[in-house]
Chains A and B, each alone.
Chain A
Amino acid sequence: MKLKSLALAVAAAAALAGTAGSAFAQASEQFFPLLVYRTGPYAPNGTPWANGAQDYLKLVNATGGINGVKIAFEECETGYATDKGVECYERLKSRGASSFDPQATGITFALTDKVPHDKIPLITLGYGLAASQDGGVFKWNFPLMGSYWTAADILIQHIAKKEGGADKLKGKKITLVYHDSPFGKEPIPLLQERAKLNGFELSLIPVTAPGVEQKSAWLQVRQQRPDYVLLWGWGVMNSTALKEAVATGYPREKMFGVWWAGAEPDTRDVGANAKGYSALALNTSGTQPKVIQDILKQVHDKGQGSGPKDEVGSVLYTRGAIISMLRVEAVRRAQERFGKGKVMTGEQVRWGFENLALDQKRLDALGFSGVLRPISTSCQDHMGSTWARVHTWDGSKWGGMSDWYQADESIIKPMAKAAADKYAAEKKLTRREAADCQS
């Protein structure tokens, strides 16, 4: 009993000391919370993503911070689970977070209702809620560089181009094999809209999360013999789908993945068998961009790399670096207005995200030339860019970038507006006034 109470007392004292210690750290540093998943079925993809995000922050610190403001960061393991994500959010919020990148669509949905109260912007690069590109309703959400609607639209455009024109899609059969969660279901409304417009036949095959068991799904694919399969998977689901496609003999050349199904962990295990499989690319991969070289030089060569050196520059690693870059640039933009060299609050960083203007010159200066296209956000448009490319697995690496495609705004804009209005009506919100855009 005595030993037990002693242990308890020590633990309690340590807890107090710990919270006091971290409170001191936040005074002059910009705190970046990092929600990650390095364990569980999504870890193979979550790990390089998290490492890239962290290494870029280390690079910024090594090169003098954001106008002199150093970055403090802390990771919290969510395991891709919503309730753990909410716990992590609350934990890291109390350290003075100024933006969140939940890295999971489920967590994004739960946090979307919480961030307006806490006044912290929510960054969902290439994922999250498609309707949240409408900044008039979703003041605190930023689905930068694309949503699942832009992704689905670009894939259809790419398929149309392969077929030789949008009119050739008529009567074709396209099957969506998707992760049975909000993440996988998001593209469905757009695909249905496109199916009506282009006259192709859409069928939907859900795969129960996490997607290690897909025999029945691919049996259905074999029965339906679709002309194309769209793969909306994440984590272990992708490599399993490719293996099943090999087993059922579905040609990989006719499979197209979303940008979360187009990275090395998805195809490496399948190797040469996955040759010809294509997926969307939000960014390039490889170590040739200057920023990756800088990370290798300034972070990894000094022994501070977050992960193994050979994954630096992989698809998801680069995407992690991009997310961190955008978060850092939003802080920098906010500093331009609210005071250089100061620590920005969540509200100020939100203004920074809403007024991001990364032109080609700026991207070149940051070392991201060729990696992504310029981004410019506004009060109404929280996405900034709807461009993406398609890359192909050649059996050992991703490459063979296509031309840039832009999502068809005439389809997406009205849909996003209608969805945002529906959301606002359900939540009894009103659209932001024009004056609110100045704040």
Chain B
Amino acid sequence: MLYRENGQFKSSYRADQQIFPILQDRIAILALLAFAFVAMPFASEYWLRAIVTPFLILSLAALGLNILVGYCGQISLGTGAFMAVGAYAAYNFHVRIDGMPLIASLLLGGLCATAVGVLFGIPSLRIKGLYLAVATLAAQFFTDWAFLRIPFFTNNSTSGSVSVAGLQVFGLPIETPAQKYLLCLTLVVVFALLAKNLTRSAIGREWMAMRDMDVAAAVIGIRPVYAKLTAFAVSSFIVGVAGALWGFIHLGAWEPAAFSIDRSFQLLFMVIIGGLGSIMGSFFGAAFIVLLPIFLNQMPGWFGLSISTALASHLEFMIFGALIVFFLIVEPHGLARLWSTFKEKLRLWPFPH
């Protein structure tokens, strides 16, 4: 009843090609952004530091991975590695160059991740599918090794753990949870918009053509080298920035274990559960994987049940696993597809035919 597009006429190509062609969507997304920017910073410290900020950062990483896996069809198990490269490179720029602005360190971290991503993307020109996943796994083990063994990368820290402090952007300190949250939110919004537009542009179409059938794409004149490597480059840039944010903003001090193979799997699951080839899906997936375990873990407490810590955490694993299976059966195309089905139904509501 409320959600339908009757009477919204598009008189130009520009209007037709908007990201959100329906007025109600635009209002909803603007309201959401307004809420995120204006009201959310006043949420409690726990919410900001432990829930929303990690959710945003991992959404960004999932978004980056989605470009590679969802849009270009190249399976990668090296996401944790590219995050690590971003984090450690940003760290090195930050501590070695005096007066380096934070944003510049983050972006330079992303650029280093791009270089490494492209390097490990080269095998994708020859191998496909699961074999490529195994090849990107090499990136994971290589970076784990490099950041544990080469003292240069950790600025000769004796314990191998690195940390940053005194962050600021344009003279404003990034200290309180609200400031950290706003920095992450801004970056996430910018990158999400950028990614959405990239996927709608010529290059995005090339990626999708590669994904759907690479031989056919090559026949119609798409260069596989260019398409695949740009997907690796864009993806690992975003993932690298997310890694730098994870280290700088969320953890503050980290070691290679923060970007272990588990992280790579976690991000891949986010993309698969959220929806391959969907920007929105990256956020849904991150919400599912990051937030759900936290809620499941606290759920017994809310209902006043006192069960042992070990049992609570085992229950968390079991319910979480069952839910993953459930969602994959109900909607193999991910939560994003579920969302769009829901919107379709809403258009006809209350008179479905």
| Residues of A170-223 contacting chain B, CB below 8 A | 180-182, 185-186, 188-189, 206, 209
Q: Are A77 and B312 in contact (CB under 8 A)?
A: yes
A113 within 8 A of B: yes
Q: Are A76 and B251 in contact (CB under 8 A)?
A: no
A297 within 8 A of B: no
Complex formed: what's the CA distance from A106 to B42 in Å? 30
B5 within 8 A of A: no
Chain B residues with Cβ below 8 Å from A409 are: none
| Residues of A1-55 contacting chain B, CB below 8 A | 11, 14-15, 17-18, 21-22, 36, 38-39, 43, 47, 50
Q: Are B314 and A39 in contact (CB under 8 A)?
A: yes
Q: Are B309 and A83 in contact (CB under 8 A)?
A: no
For residue A80, which residue of chain B has the nearest CB?
B257
A426 within 8 A of B: yes
Q: Are B255 and A182 in contact (CB under 8 A)?
A: yes
User: How distant is A141 from chain B, measured CB to nearest CB, in Å?
Assistant: 12
B92 within 8 A of A: no
Complex formed: what's the CA distance from A43 to B252 in Å? 26
Q: Are B309 and A17 in contact (CB under 8 A)?
A: no
What number of A-B contacts does a CB cutoff of 8 Å give?
114
Chain A residues with Cβ below 8 Å from B302 are: 11, 14-15, 17-18
Chain B residues with Cβ below 8 Å from A268 are: none
User: How distant is B326 from chain A, measured CB to nearest CB, in Å?
Assistant: 13
A403 within 8 A of B: no
User: How distant is A232 from chain B, measured CB to nearest CB, in Å?
Assistant: 12
Chain B residues with Cβ below 8 Å from A50 are: 309
Provided the pairs A185-B159, A427-B166 are in contact, do residues A110 and B310 lie with their beta carbons within 8 angstroms? Answer: no
A419 within 8 A of B: yes
User: A81-112 interface mask toward B, CB cutoff 8 Å, 1 = contact, 0 = none?
Assistant: 11100110111011000000000011001101
Which label, helix, strand, loop or mixed, suits the secondary structure of the B interface?
A: helix
Q: Are B294 and A87 in contact (CB under 8 A)?
A: yes
Q: Are A109 and B163 in contact (CB under 8 A)?
A: yes
Provided the pairs A90-B45, A109-B253 are in contact, do residues A182 and B50 lie with their beta carbons within 8 angstroms? Answer: no
Complex formed: what's the CA distance from A39 to B95 in Å? 36
Q: Are A18 and B251 in contact (CB under 8 A)?
A: no
User: How distant is A129 from chain B, measured CB to nearest CB, in Å?
Assistant: 7
Chain B residues with Cβ below 8 Å from A181 are: 160, 255, 257
Complex formed: what's the CA distance from A225 to B76 in Å? 42
Chain B interface extent, by class: 35 or more
Chain A residues with Cβ below 8 Å from B175 are: 117
Complex formed: what's the CA distance from A426 to B253 in Å? 13
| Residues of A382-439 contacting chain B, CB below 8 A | 419, 426-428
For residue A306, which residue of chain B has the nearest CB?
B308
Q: Are A185 and B160 in contact (CB under 8 A)?
A: yes
Q: Are A38 and B163 in contact (CB under 8 A)?
A: no
A114 within 8 A of B: yes
Q: Are B314 and A427 in contact (CB under 8 A)?
A: no
A75 within 8 A of B: yes
Complex formed: what's the CA distance from A277 to B294 in Å? 41
Complex formed: what's the CA distance from A419 to B161 in Å? 14
User: How distant is B259 from chain A, measured CB to nearest CB, in Å?
Assistant: 11
Chain A interface extent, by class: 35 or more
Provided the pairs A15-B302, A77-B297, A109-B255 are in contact, do residues A428 and B166 lie with their beta carbons within 8 angstroms? Answer: yes
Complex formed: what's the CA distance from A22 to B175 in Å? 28
Complex formed: what's the CA distance from A288 to B302 in Å? 40
B228 within 8 A of A: no
Provided the pairs A114-B252, A117-B175 are in contact, do residues A75 and B257 lie with their beta carbons within 8 angstroms? Answer: no
Provided the pairs A77-B310, A83-B251, A93-B46 are in contact, do residues A188 and B257 lie with their beta carbons within 8 angstroms? Answer: no
User: How distant is A182 from chain B, measured CB to nearest CB, in Å?
Assistant: 4
Residue of B44, B299, B301 most packed against chain A (CB within 10 A): B301
User: How distant is A339 from chain B, measured CB to nearest CB, in Å?
Assistant: 27
Chain B residues with Cβ below 8 Å from A113 are: 163, 165, 252-253
Chain B residues with Cβ below 8 Å from A94 are: 44-46
Q: Are A38 and B310 in contact (CB under 8 A)?
A: yes
Q: Are B313 and A87 in contact (CB under 8 A)?
A: no
B341 within 8 A of A: no
| Residues of B34-77 contacting chain A, CB below 8 A | 44-46, 49-51, 54
Provided the pairs A15-B302, A86-B50, A181-B255 are in contact, do residues A76 and B158 lie with their beta carbons within 8 angstroms? Answer: no
Q: Are B255 and A106 in contact (CB under 8 A)?
A: yes
A79 within 8 A of B: yes
Residue of A50, A109, A188 most packed against chain B (CB within 10 A): A109
| Residues of B309-327 contacting chain A, CB below 8 A | 309-310, 312-314, 317
Q: Are A185 and B158 in contact (CB under 8 A)?
A: yes
| Residues of B142-198 contacting chain A, CB below 8 A | 148, 158-161, 163, 165-166, 175
Q: Are B254 and A110 in contact (CB under 8 A)?
A: yes
User: How distant is A8 from chain B, measured CB to nearest CB, in Å?
Assistant: 11
Q: Looking at the complex, which one of B95, B252, B299 makes contact with A426 (CB distance below 8 Å)?
A: B95
Chain B residues with Cβ below 8 Å from A109 are: 159, 161, 163, 253-255
Residue of B44, B45, B95, B163 most packed against chain A (CB within 10 A): B163
Complex formed: what's the CA distance from A83 to B254 in Å? 9
Q: Looking at the complex, which one of A22, A43, A90, A182 makes contact with B159 (CB distance below 8 Å)?
A: A182
Q: Are B309 and A76 in contact (CB under 8 A)?
A: yes
Residue of A38, A117, A188 most packed against chain B (CB within 10 A): A38
For residue A190, which residue of chain B has the nearest CB?
B158
Chain A residues with Cβ below 8 Å from B159 are: 105, 109, 129, 182, 185-186
Residue of B250, B251, B252 most packed against chain A (CB within 10 A): B251
Provided the pairs A90-B50, A186-B158, A426-B95 are in contact, do residues A112 and B163 lie with their beta carbons within 8 angstroms? Answer: yes
Q: Are B310 and A79 in contact (CB under 8 A)?
A: no
User: How distant is A56 from chain B, measured CB to nearest CB, in Å?
Assistant: 17
Q: Looking at the complex, which one of B148, B158, B309, B317 makes contact with A38 (CB distance below 8 Å)?
A: B309
Provided the pairs A38-B309, A112-B163, A206-B148 are in contact, do residues A83 and B255 lie with their beta carbons within 8 angstroms? Answer: no
| Residues of B205-219 contacting chain A, CB below 8 A | none
Q: Are B158 and A36 in contact (CB under 8 A)?
A: no
Complex formed: what's the CA distance from A428 to B98 in Å? 12
| New contact pairs (16) apart from A87-B54, A106-B255, A109-B161, CB-CB < 8 Å | A47-B310, A50-B309, A77-B297, A83-B251, A94-B44, A105-B159, A109-B253, A110-B163, A181-B255, A182-B159, A182-B161, A182-B255, A185-B159, A186-B159, A206-B148, A427-B165
User: Could you pull out 30 A-B pairs where Cβ atoms are within 8 angstroms?
Assistant: A14-B303, A15-B302, A18-B298, A21-B304, A38-B313, A39-B310, A39-B313, A39-B317, A77-B310, A83-B250, A86-B49, A86-B50, A87-B51, A87-B294, A90-B45, A91-B46, A93-B45, A105-B159, A106-B255, A109-B159, A110-B252, A113-B163, A113-B252, A181-B255, A185-B158, A188-B158, A209-B257, A427-B165, A427-B166, A428-B166
